[in-house]
Chain A
Amino acid sequence: MTVRAWAWLVVGAVVFARLLSWLGGYDIVADVDPSNSGAAPGTAAWLGTDALGRDIAWRMVKATDAFVVPSVGAALVAVGLGGGLGTLGGWFGGTIERASGAVAGLPGAAPRFVMVLLLATIFEPSSVVLAVGCGLAFVPQAAAEVAARLGAMRRTAFVEASLVHGVGVARVLGGHLLWTGCRLLLLRLALQSVAFYVVVETTLSYLGALGVQEPLPSFGNMVARGLVDSRLHLVARLAPPTALWLLLSALLHVDGVVARRDSRRAT
Chain B
Amino acid sequence: MSGALARALLARTAAVVGGLVAAVAALVVLLKAAPGDAADLVTTDPTLRARLVAEWDLDAPIHEAVGAALSGRWGQSWTVRPGADVADLVMEALVQSVPLWLGAWALTLALGIGWSSQAGRARWQGWPVLSAAPVFLLGWAAIVLLNETAFAAMGAGWINRPAWFSLPDSTSFLRSALAMTVLAAGSGGLRSFVDGARSRLEVHRMSPAVEALVARGQPTRRLLAWLWVPDLSVLAAERGALLFGGLVVVERVFAMPGAGSLFWEACVRRDQPVVVASGVVAALGVALLRWLADMTRVVADPRLRELT
A-side residues, CB < 8 A to B, are 102, 105-106, 108-114, 117-123, 195, 199, 202-203, 206-207, 209-210, 220, 223-224, 226-227, 230, 237, 241, 244-245, 248-249, 251-253, 256
Q: When the two chains form their complex, are residues B245 and A114 in contact, meaning their CB atoms are under 8 A apart?
A: yes
Q: When the two chains form their complex, are residues A245 and B133 in contact, meaning their CB atoms are under 8 A apart?
A: yes
- A-B pairs with beta carbons under 8 A, tally: 119
Q: When the two chains form their complex, are residues A113 and B248 in contact, meaning their CB atoms are under 8 A apart?
A: yes
Interface flag for B31 (CB, 8 Å): yes
Q: When the two chains form their complex, are residues A117 and B136 in contact, meaning their CB atoms are under 8 A apart?
A: no
Q: When the two chains form their complex, are residues A121 and B275 in contact, meaning their CB atoms are under 8 A apart?
A: yes
Partner of B143, one of A118, A195, A227: A227
Chain B, residue nearest A120 (CB): B267
Docked Cα-Cα span, A249 to B23, in Å, equals: 33
Residues of the A chain whose Cβ atoms lie less than 8 Å from the Cβ of B243: 111
Residues of the B chain whose Cβ atoms lie less than 8 Å from the Cβ of A249: 129, 132
Q: When the two chains form their complex, are residues B245 and A248 in contact, meaning their CB atoms are under 8 A apart?
A: no
Chain A, residue nearest B287 (CB): A109
Residues of the B chain whose Cβ atoms lie less than 8 Å from the Cβ of A113: 242, 245-246, 248-249
Residues of the A chain whose Cβ atoms lie less than 8 Å from the Cβ of B23: 106, 109-110
B249 CB → nearest A CB, Å = 6
Residues of the A chain whose Cβ atoms lie less than 8 Å from the Cβ of B195: 256
Q: When the two chains form their complex, are residues A210 and B268 in contact, meaning their CB atoms are under 8 A apart?
A: yes
Q: When the two chains form their complex, are residues A220 and B136 in contact, meaning their CB atoms are under 8 A apart?
A: yes
Q: When the two chains form their complex, are residues A202 and B22 in contact, meaning their CB atoms are under 8 A apart?
A: no
Docked Cα-Cα span, A108 to B252, in Å, equals: 24
Docked Cα-Cα span, A196 to B270, in Å, equals: 24
Interface flag for B144 (CB, 8 Å): yes
Q: When the two chains form their complex, are residues A123 and B34 in contact, meaning their CB atoms are under 8 A apart?
A: yes
Residues of the B chain whose Cβ atoms lie less than 8 Å from the Cβ of A237: 144
Interface flag for B5 (CB, 8 Å): no
Q: When the two chains form their complex, are residues A121 and B270 in contact, meaning their CB atoms are under 8 A apart?
A: yes
Docked Cα-Cα span, A244 to B186, in Å, equals: 13
Q: Which residues of B4-56 have CB atoms within 8 Å of chain A's CB atoms?
A: 18-20, 22-23, 26-27, 30-31, 34
Docked Cα-Cα span, A109 to B288, in Å, equals: 11
Interface flag for B103 (CB, 8 Å): no
Interface string of B116-142 (1 = CB under 8 A from A): 000000000000110011111100110
Q: Which residues of B161-213 have CB atoms within 8 Å of chain A's CB atoms?
A: 187-188, 191, 195
Chain A, residue nearest B267 (CB): A121
Residues of the B chain whose Cβ atoms lie less than 8 Å from the Cβ of A112: 242, 245
Interface string of B214-252 (1 = CB under 8 A from A): 000000000000000000000000000111111011001
